[in-house]
């Protein structure tokens, strides 16, 4: 039987370390930096590094085998605390907030493809361990749309109460716990782009735009209405709070109230929202607008401020994005033409420039190469309001110190 007293001892020590980090004056300095930046005011360019459990190094470093807690719930909290403490050592402009997020237990299963919509998105494996796979979309014929169900917002209150109670008993006297009951259809699960491709297939929707436009419009309308319904139900239940907002950076702006733990209910119009269209990279601006943006727009309009883009190249689509009335920042990715994007964006929006992590930390360490890449990006964005976001880091080749060194070197280049 698991030794829970030992688990709690581990968590309490980590929570103390995190609580000390979260109240350092530098955290408020970073909040003010991001607040001014996303208010389109002059600042030094913020620098941000992000990574996640999809990352080879991260999976190994923070795997279950590396965790000390035996209890699954405590182990997840241990992992989060260790990742936050590690991130503090990178020295970028990431904010460690003085609370620990506790996600509520939803009755409807999550998932960014079809799971939340009542269908199973299968996979065809390559047969090689850790190898490639391809999705097996559930909507093969248009009649299969009848299988879809709108994911309603419903919290398993008893399971959520047990989760919160156990974590509160363990560390609640050290750091505040923030219960997050937000809708499951948000971020990638609510941008429509990710879901429609999961349901129908990327190549197939490209064909559908020519051969079955009416049916594709019907599917997109169903997804739009489903996302709106799910988010509206969460809002009406009082489950939209200040910490369920995302903008792929630090969601601070003078226009909006600052994220606060256990804030009580808010409207989406008081939050930042994040939308993307990664799967539409190779789709023309006209078809992007017709077969995605017009369906995303009614969802985006509910938010206060919008960030658009993740890994897609938006070079030819900046003008199209200007139709988003509450747009505040745009992703400029490794495949985009940074200079062309910056010239189009000007100072109308914040530029989220994402240099290629392969040039930075994933394939050797070359300080001169990093200095050259960052200098070129700095010069391309000069005159604009930009931050530098190193993301989608798949490996550091066993040398996590590269993240700190990249952050320091980048700061020295951009000033």
Q: Are 361 and 324 in contact (CB under 8 A)?
A: no
- pLDDT tens by residue, 44-69: 999 999 987 667 777 778 888 899 99
Query: What pLDDT shows up at residue 34?
Result: 98
pLDDT at 300 over 90: yes
DSSP letters for 216-233: HHHHHHHHHHHHHHHHHH
Cα separation of 229 and 227, whole Å? 5
Band of the pLDDT at 70, cuts 50, 70, 90?
very high
Query: What is the average pLDDT across 224-253?
Result: 98
- pLDDT tens by residue, 343-402: 999 999 999 999 999 999 999 999 999 999 999 999 999 999 999 999 999 889 989 999
- Domain coverage including residue 176: 4-414
Per DSSP, 347 falls in state T
Give the three-state DSSP class for 379. helix
- pLDDT tens by residue, 268-295: 999 999 999 999 999 999 999 999 999 9
Query: What is the average pLDDT across 27-38?
Result: 98
Give the three-state DSSP class for 407. helix
Band of the pLDDT at 2, cuts 50, 70, 90?
low
- pLDDT tens by residue, 396-405: 998 999 999 9
- pLDDT tens by residue, 131-147: 787 778 999 999 999 99
Band of the pLDDT at 128, cuts 50, 70, 90?
confident
Structure tokens at 351: 């530029």
Q: Total domain count for the chain? A: 1
Helix, strand, coil abundance in the chain, percent, nearest 5: 50, 10, 40
* Of 75 and 122, the one with more pLDDT: 75
Band of the pLDDT at 1, cuts 50, 70, 90?
very low
pLDDT at 107 over 90: yes
Query: What is the average pLDDT across 329-334?
Result: 97
Return the CATH number at 109.
Answer: 3.20.20.210
């Amino acid at each position: 039987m698991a030794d829970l007293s030992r688990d709690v001892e581990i968590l309490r020590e980590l929570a103390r370390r995190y609580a000390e980090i979260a109240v350092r004056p530098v955290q408020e300095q970073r909040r003010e930096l991001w607040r001014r930046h996303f208010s389109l005011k002059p600042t030094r360019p913020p620098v941000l590094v992000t990574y996640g459990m999809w990352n080879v190094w991260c999976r190994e470093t923070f795997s279950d085998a590396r965790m000390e807690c035996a209890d699954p719930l405590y182990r997840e909290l241990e992992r989060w605390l260790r990742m936050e403490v590690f991130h503090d050592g990178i020295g970028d402009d990431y904010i460690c907030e003085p609370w620990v997020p506790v996600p509520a237990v939803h009755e409807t299963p999550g998932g960014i493809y079809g799971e939340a919509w009542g269908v199973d998105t299968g996979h065809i494996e390559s047969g090689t361990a850790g190898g490639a796979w391809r999705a097996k979309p559930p909507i093969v014929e248009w009649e299969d749309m009848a299988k879809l169900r709108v994911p309603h917002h419903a919290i398993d209150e008893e399971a959520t109460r047990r989760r919160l109670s156990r974590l509160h008993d363990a560390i609640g006297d050290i750091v505040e716990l923030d219960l997050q009951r937000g809708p499951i259809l948000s971020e990638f699960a609510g941008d429509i782009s990710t879901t429609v491709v999961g349901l129908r297939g990327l190549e197939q929707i490209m064909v559908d735009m020519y051969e079955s436009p009416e049916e594709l419009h019907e599917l997109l309308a169903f997804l739009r209405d489903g996302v709106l319904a799910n988010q509206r139900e969460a809002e009406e239940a009082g489950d939209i709070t200040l910490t369920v907002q995302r903008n792929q950076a630090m969601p601070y702006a003078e226009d909006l109230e600052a994220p606060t733990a256990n804030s009580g209910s808010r409207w989406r119009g008081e939050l930042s929202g994040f939308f993307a269209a990664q799967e539409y990279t190779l789709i023309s601006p006209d078809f992007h607008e017709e077969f995605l943006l017009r369906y995303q727009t009614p969802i985006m309009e509910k938010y206060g401020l919008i960030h658009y883009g993740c890994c897609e190249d938006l070079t030819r689509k900046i003008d199209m994005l200007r139709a988003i009335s509450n747009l505040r920042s745009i992703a400029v990715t490794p495949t985009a033409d940074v200079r062309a994007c910056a010239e189009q964006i000007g100072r109308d929006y914040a530029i989220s420039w994402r240099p290629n992590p392969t040039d930075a930390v994933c394939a050797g360490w070359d300080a001169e190469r990093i200095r050259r890449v960052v200098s070129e990006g700095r010069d391309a964005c000069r005159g604009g309001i930009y931050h530098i976001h190193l993301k989608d880091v798949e490996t550091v080749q066993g040398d996590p110190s590269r993240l700190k060194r990249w952050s320091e070197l980048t700061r020295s280049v951009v000033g």
